[in-house]
Structure 1
Amino acid sequence: MTVLALDIGGTELKGAVVAADGTVVRTVRRPTRPVRPARPARPTCGAGTALDAALDCATELAELARRAGLRPRAAGVAAPGLVDEAAGTVVRAVNLDWHDVPIRDRLAEHLGLPIAFGHDVRAGGLAEARLGAGRGSHSFVFVPVGTGIAAAVLTGGRAMTGARGIAGELGHLVVRPGGERCACGGRGCLETVASAAAIARRHARLTGMTTSGAEDVHRRAVDGEAQAGQVWAEAVEALADGLAATVALLDPERIVIGGGLARAGDHLLAPLAAALTERLAFRTAPRLVAAELGRRAGCLGAALLAQDLLVGDPVAEGLLTEDPLAEDPPAEGLLATGRAAEALPPGGAP
């Protein structure tokens, strides 16, 4: 059962054609907001531009499947922001300038296929649950820490959506009451201290220097810069506070840390695990591990959603993750035996 998969990001679209045996046959990467002529014939802001790009990417995936002699049976799409998975709608996605966009219906009409739709973080968590760092865990929490912070709660390979479809807003858990104002309108949210954006911003405020981002702050901390070390330690402490509340409520077997900050490896995980253990008192701390799938997780999760839509049961084996979507080496044990017959043609987003 060949499926198409599409992961819609704020800056980039990632797509894949996945064959019946789970092999990723073709992949595509495109900017979410394509460069348009200076005076376009139609509006290029808001939902139109990003939605058109998503539809164009879906068309390209369908054509790549046809050229490979494959007939897609369904497509899966993962989108950011506040989503209504039951209605197939992106309620609000600030980075896309989307409000109440019926992405599932638009893709179904465009492709003539049944469409599975999910939140990008939950799709990434689903992929980590079945193919990555969550394998073997009945319950775990996937926490990508990047520009923002979110969470996906997985039990038995299924993601919890909540009554209104917005479960997992870990970044807006208040960990520093009365603290910095958050984009959500609250004060002292976890995102204002521990996200990659917050780490860079807090370091700049403390030192008066501009850095290239949280990874630069991390490097400075490792090199012994006191201010960078302070900002990094404060981020770890705040993240431990948020995870301690998560553990108290959910008692997961494992917590999988993803996103750009996870690339710090043990410089993040070791102090975070120690700080979390301190906060749990009599409770046993869950295992804390780095995500394995990197930037591929959302697209692979979208493929799994599409396969689940067709078969009604989880499809967990065989997805080939050694592909042009990968920034990191593929995790051991995730390679299918099949390989694409020809390389993806050039022209994708860097």
Structure 2
Amino acid sequence: MNFRNWKRSLLGLFVTIIVTVLSFNAWSLFFLRSDIRPKQASNNIQSIGREIHDPYLRSTKLKWIKTAIHLHSNRAWFTPIRNSPEEIQEVYSKNGYQILAFTDYEIVTKLESKKTALIPGYEWGRNLVKRHLTVLGIEEADHDFFPLFAFPENIQWEIDSLQKKGAFVAINHPLLNDSFPLRILEKLSGYNAIEVLSPFGDILTYWDQLLSLGVSSFCMAGDDLHYLPKEEYLKVAKTGFPSLRQIATEWYDEDGESLMRYILLNANSTDKEDILAALKEGNYACVRKMSRVLSDPKVKAFGIRNGAEVFYEFDETPLTVDFIGRNGETLSRSYGQKKGTYRFRPDDLYVRIQAFLPTGLILSNPFYRK
């Protein structure tokens, strides 16, 4: 075969692949979809119910376990220059993390090391708009039937499919490429959490608007780690012939968004089943540190007592603590108080706690009427 024929054959193969992918995505867009309906805010509390859901109701043996969600490694075939799971685990374990969730694209990453507990998971979505989901608690990655683009109805179909398999599902980085604007988020249902604290932007306002519509989603906080900062990586890098990761780190002096966003989880153990149960109950807090080198902000207790009294307690003195309600309204604010309470009013749809401490921000999950 001469060069001209070889080039023509290669071009033909490339065109065939592109046409096949486009055709498959077009088929999936129209046949793999679920109905979605915009939510309507209700001013009638009686129609919603009087019972208040307390995500921290269940007492657990382990309290406020430092947990990292949304970590990427070099295990996916198209991300070979990222850090290895072993390197990530080493760095995170040395910084007090007890549970990790690797969320590589379309693959469940597993490790033999027992330095930390692991919750199986992956990141769903290869579409160009970056409509991604964190999927936790299942052992095999689901196929992505929308490799180039997915409408909200297609995302809803995938969420429904994952929920049937018992997964915990979180909406990832809504502000990245404007992948999940509010007009889409308010139509979707069935997901467990939304990444409120993300390197691509915090969405506290979005979250309050969704909660005000009766979408009772929990918060999520994640580093969306793509590479470790140089200072941390060089502590665990192996000596000898340099890897691609080492070369890239030395050349580009990458900083990385690591060791800053995480959750504090209450669970009976670090077994998969107990972790997944705690996540689905919302029995955790979301944290964003001001800098990875600062000490960790700590919480002692969140909950409800005396029927309708939301309370907080911290070990260290917070700067401010807000009780936030419908449409992001500050219902009550305290300064420099380690303990505080707020009693649900008859017209309160939900209440969440938002605390600024000297080294970071801590969010409770919402207490809401069922």
Q: State whether TM-score is above 0.5.
A: no
> Which gives a bigger RCO, structure 1 or 2 (Cα 8 Å, sep 6+)?
1
The structure with the greater share of residues assigned to helix is 1
TM-score bracket for this pair, using the shorter chain length: under 0.3
Length-normalised TM-score, structure 2? 0.23
**Greater C-alpha radius of gyration:** 2
Could you say which structure has the higher strand fraction? 2
